[in-house]
Structure 1
Amino acid sequence: MTQHSTTNYRALQQQLKGLLEGEHDLIAILSNASALINDHLDNVNWVGFYLVKNEELLLGPFQGHPACVHIPLGKGVCGSAVSEGAVQLVDDVNAFPGHIACDPNSQSEIVVPIRRGGSIIGVLDIDAPVTHRFTETDAQGLKDVVTIIEDHLT
């Protein structure tokens, strides 16, 4: 079942810029960003961040049900986003080789790498309870959101 996004990414980006103005603390930025993104996106069941720490991804600020705490780099959708250095847009997580099922209700997922100083320091991870939730429009809009976050990580 295809669910098309009606997210106004321009409005989301403007609100995020205002919300983060003058803020440079990573946890504060990611906490407010996860809440704002969750408020703007329809038909999602988890919005959050994983941060690279000790050669793995460690759970960071999020909105949603409890989640996996540790994800090996290169494993699952989030770990693949880090190892490939690219957005992962997965229409059906059950068809993704090595998918890590933190929430059995999640059916599709998008993951966007976050960089600081040229290195990937984490990912934005969003899950949806339906397949085919995310589009290329979502991918571009969320990449632009991540760029705003990266600009505040000095």
Structure 2
Amino acid sequence: MQDIVKAIRSLTEGETDSVALMATVACEVHHAMPQADWTGFYRVVAPELLKIGPYQGGHGCLVIPFSRGVCGACARTGAVQNVPDVDAFPGHIACASSTRSELVLPVFNGAGRLLAVFDIDSDTPAAFSKADEDWLVPLLADVFRHAE
């Protein structure tokens, strides 16, 4: 994954617009992870509310409250959610009925403000590992550190 990390850092260097950063990261990660069937961002647009942002794949849910689903849990807690079986996750929101596993990471700017959550869905059970978290968490922190 070092190649994709290097490419994303190069593509986003100096950019501060969060939507431009999200679009680039979603595209690059989606194409770098063959297990990803949907890759995108849900932006914090109001207290306790996420709305869909840039993504790759089929349609996603338009609005997700912090109180619902895997994305909501990530936004609410600020913690990575790596769910190997979405059917076993209480309150899972099925934006696509084919989704079997999900990795959702919080996206903070350098000031510590939650900008979004980064959601990667797979039609394969247990598609994401701790190793995926280990390269994505620092990448997101670096790319979005100066985001507006």
Q: TM-score range by the shorter chain?
A: over 0.9
Quote how far apart the aligned CAs of 1:149 are. 2.0
Aligned residue for 2:143, secondary structure, equals helix
Work out which of the residue numbers 85, 100, 112 in structure 1 matches 2:105.
112
Q: Comparing both chains, which one has the higher relative contact order based on Cα–Cα distances under 8 Å and sequence gaps of 6 or more?
A: 1
Q: 1:22 Cα deviation (Å)? A: 2.1
Using the alignment, how far apart are the partners of 1:68 and 1:93 within structure 2?
A: 15
Report the Cα distance in structure 1 between the residues aligned to 2:121 and 2:32, rounded to whole angstroms.
Answer: 14
SS in 2 for 1:151: coil
- SS of equivalent residue, structure 1 residue 14: helix
Deviations 1:41-94 (A, max 9, x none): 012110000111122001000001011000001310000001111000000001
Is the CA contact (8 Å cut-off) linking 1:13 and 1:148 kept in structure 2? no
Code of the residue aligned with 1:93 in structure 2: it is V
Greater mean deviation of Cα atoms: 84-93 or 140-149: 140-149
Is 1:88 the counterpart of 2:81? The answer is yes
Match of 1:97 among 79, 86, 90: 90
C-alpha distance in structure 2 between counterparts of 1:23 and 1:31, whole Å: 12
Percentage identity across paired residues of the two chains = 35
Q: Deviations along 1:93-128, whole A, 9 cap, x unmatched?
A: 011000000001110000000112112121110000
Q: Residue 122 in 1 paired to residue 116 in 2? A: yes
Q: What's the TM-score once normalised by structure 2's chain length?
A: 0.94
Distance in 2 between the 1:13 and 1:148 partners? 10
May I ask how many residue pairs the two structures share in their alignment? 146
CA distance in structure 2 between the partners assigned to 1:152 and 1:45 by the alignment = 29
For structure 2, the 5+ residue unaligned runs are: none
